[in-house]
Amino acid sequence: MEKTRWAPWEIETLYGGISKKVAGYADRVLKIEKQAQQVHEKNYSTPIALEGSVISELDAEIRARTQKIQDQSETIREKNGTIEILQDEVTALQLELVHLEDKVSKLWDENQQLVQRWLKKMNEEAQQMNEEVIQEESSVARITHIKGVNNINSRIKKKTLPVNDDSSSRSTKKGIRIPKNISKKIDTNNSEIHSIAVSPMGGILAVGGIEPSVLLYDVDTGTLKGKLRGSGAGINDVTFSSDGAIVAAASSDNSIYIWASNTGRLIKAFTGHISKVVVARFTLDMKILVSASNDRTVKVWDVKSGNYNEALSIVTGHMDFGIRLWNTKTGERLKELKVHKDSIVSLCLSPNGDQIAASSRDGSISVIDVLGFKVLRILTADGFVPSGIRSKVIYGPTGQHVVSGSNNGSLYFWDMEKSQAPAERLALHHSSFASVCWDTLRNRIYSAESSRVVYILS
């Protein structure tokens, strides 16, 4: 093949054309890169700019849903507690029904025997007497029967019991300041708190909850002093004797336990209820312990012997909205009030013993005159709804204030000397309120939320 030869001017012309094409390609490449950058900014820059606001919206929605889940969980927990009580009541009613059926069966048998004996007797008399004698005997029998009924009625007496008013052992100081400042927080080892109580000397705080032991804390340091063991299930209520020497606990294992507070020694276990015990209280003289159970019974115990037969007046609150006064010796219901529209969750006697505060799930507290057993006042407040079935109501040391907590985590204070004054609200807890007690000696309030934390207010 013959080799091609290029003239110099041809080479220069060809080079110039190639340079122009290269420059054109470069311009096209720059345009394409610019277009790609614009597309990239259009597709990605806007979402990135919006990313912060979207994340904020999602965070807000997550928080709202989390709070809703927590509220629903709390509602479920309360409903489960109510269901347990109703199940226990059904069991108690079934046992009572069986007992009554046995009693009716025995009475029926006895009645049949009496009827047979009576018929036999009448037949024997009919054979011996003429019609006139029979009529005369019948009249005498009717008169005798009426006299017998009158004699029985004359022996029935209404019993009224005096109310223990030991005002000398209670505080009468007026104008006490309400402690509202958080001075300490105790994070207990109990995953769910049901009840707290402070010793009369003010040095020890007893905590009962879902764990099968009572925890004792030093209120000054917040440290755990010890555990009172012996219960076979969770603790529903704790209380101290008036001298602080004994701690009592109402247990879900159907028993009541008492310990020596200084040594932790288990003194006695009281058994006799057939369902979980929900409350236990000492009398002022520390000789008597009263307990109430989901088996629909109230039992009165002699602290030393475990038995007690002397008459005692007690007041009870019920799931059927009723508040009742009882004679414990005869079992007679002396009086009853029904002023609430939902179940009663807590009762408290005033320091001078002349009033009772009754807290209800309907969001109100009734103040009742003990002597006349009538309602003196109804306490309400915006947002106040007692949480759960153990939410306590208490009186302050002088009886001037009534205190209770709500399912919104707040404490409410009512001044009994100012009938028109609204309740004071203290937003305190991060979860629902569980229990409260007032340290008279040091003027402190101990308030517990259900999720293990106790706040000390001074």
- Judgement on whether residues 301 and 356 belong to the same structural domain of the protein: no
Residues 42 and 94 in one domain: yes
Same domain membership, residue 319 and residue 456: yes
Query: Domain range holding 54?
Result: 16-126
Q: Please check whether residues 285 and 198 belong to one and the same domain.
A: yes
pLDDT in tens, 9-42: 565 565 566 666 666 666 776 777 777 677 666 6
CA distance 411 to 455: 11
CATH of the domain at 258: 2.130.10.10
Structure tokens at 393: 């109501």
Task: Tell whether 151 is covered by a domain.
Answer: no
* C-alpha to C-alpha distance for 439 and 198, rounded to whole angstroms: 6
The token duo for 247 is: 């701690």
The total number of structural domains in the chain stands at 3
Element (H, E) at 121: helix 46-128
The reply to whether 70 falls in a domain is yes
DSSP 239-289: EE-TTSSEEEEEETTSEEEEEETTT--EEEEEE--SS-EEEEEE-TTSSEE
Residue 263 backbone dihedrals phi, psi, to 5 degrees: -110, -20
What is the predicted pLDDT for the residue at 75?
Answer: 76
Q: Give domain status of residue 353, yes or no.
A: yes
Measured from the Cβ of residue 210, the count of other Cβ atoms closer than 10 Å reads 16
Q: Is there a domain that residue 4 lies in?
A: no
- How many Å apart are CA 75 and CA 297, to the nearest integer? 27
The whole model's pTM is what? 0.64
**pLDDT tens-digit readout, 220-273:** 998 999 999 999 999 999 999 988 999 999 999 999 999 999 999 999 999 989
pLDDT, residue 228, reads 93
Residue 448: its pLDDT value, please?
85
457 burial type by CB count under 10 A (0-12 exposed, 13-18 middle, 19+ buried): buried
Residues 348 and 367 in one domain: yes
Residues in the chain where the model's pLDDT stays below 70: 1-26, 29, 36, 39-52, 98, 101-102, 105, 108-109, 112, 115-116, 118-120, 122-175, 308-311, 388-390
Cα–Cα nearest to 306, from 332, 252, 275, 267: 267
CB neighbours of residue 277 within 10 Å: 29
Distance between CA atoms of residues 203 and 225, nearest Å: 11
Whole-number pLDDT of residue 16: 63
Indicate if 212 and 257 belong to the same structural domain. yes
pLDDT at 304: 85
* 317, 457: one domain: yes
Task: Tell which of 126, 143, 161 closes a domain.
Answer: 126
Domain assignment present for 132: no
Q: Is residue 182 part of a domain?
A: no
